[in-house]
């Protein structure tokens, strides 16, 4: 079965490695006995992702992407292994989609004539206030 990233891009299940480990934190005896935490591992370089997606993922700054090009996502929010697996997969898809978003270039704009006039008027007013504070000797 393939995992759908976008309408055109899919990843085979075999490309994702799953590890099931014991979760940390509260939960009592259940946490100590059952491996409900899920670790999703994905090798970017060895994947069938299009080159654009690979490049963007490798350039993306996220603590879940290692320098060697591996995505590692750990999910242990719920007591259910299946729910944790679904959450890790959702985070993985979200990470890939976030890495491919191209930021819009900022268009430099000039301050309007009115805003310049208001700024200058405020400066003059503050200067006048400060001038009144100065004590001048009487002759």
Closest of 63, 60, 77, 57 to residue 11, by C-alpha = 57
Question: Domains in the chain: how many in total?
Answer: 1
| Within-domain flag for 95 | yes
pLDDT tens digits along 97-135: 998 888 899 999 999 999 999 999 999 999 999 999 988
Residue 15 is assigned to a structural domain of this protein: yes
pLDDT of residue 107: 94
Q: How many CB atoms lie within 10 A of CB 63?
A: 6
What CATH number corresponds to the domain at position 7? 3.30.160.20
pTM score > 0.75 for this model?
A: no
With b for 16 or more beta-carbon neighbours within 10 A and e for fewer, the 17-49 pattern comes to eeeeeebeeeeeeebeeeebbbbbbbebeebeb
Q: Which domain holds residue 6?
A: 2-99
Residue 117 maps to a domain:
no
Q: Is residue 115 part of a domain?
A: no
The reply to whether 106 falls in a domain is no
**Cβ neighbours of residue 95 under 8 Å, at least 6 residues apart?**
57, 60, 62, 64, 65, 71, 73
* 34-90 per-position pLDDT tens digit: 888 999 999 998 888 889 888 988 888 889 989 998 999 999 988 889 999 999 999
> Do the domain assignments include residue 104?
no
* Structure confidence by residue, pLDDT tens digits, 8-42: 888 888 899 999 998 887 777 877 888 889 999 99
Residue 24 within any structural domain of the chain: yes
* Token pair recorded at residue 33: 């006995």
In order, the DSSP letters of 78-100 are SS-HHHHHHHHHHHHHHHHHHHT
């Amino acid at each position: 079965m393939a995992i759908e990233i976008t309408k055109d891009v899919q990843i085979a299940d075999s490309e994702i490695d799953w590890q099931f480990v014991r979760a940390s934190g509260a939960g009592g005896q259940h946490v100590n006995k059952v491996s409900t935490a899920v670790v999703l591992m994905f090798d970017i370089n060895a994947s069938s992702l299009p080159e654009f997606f690979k490049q963007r993922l490798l350039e993306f700054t996220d603590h879940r992407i290692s320098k060697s090009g591996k995505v590692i996502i750990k999910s242990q929010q719920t007591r259910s292994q299946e729910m944790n697996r679904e959450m890790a997969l959702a985070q993985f898809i979200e990470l890939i989609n976030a890495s491919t978003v191209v930021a819009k270039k900022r268009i430099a704009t000039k301050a309007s004539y009115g805003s310049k006039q208001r700024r200058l008027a405020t400066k003059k007013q503050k200067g006048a206030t400060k001038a009144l504070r100065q004590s001048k000797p009487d002759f």
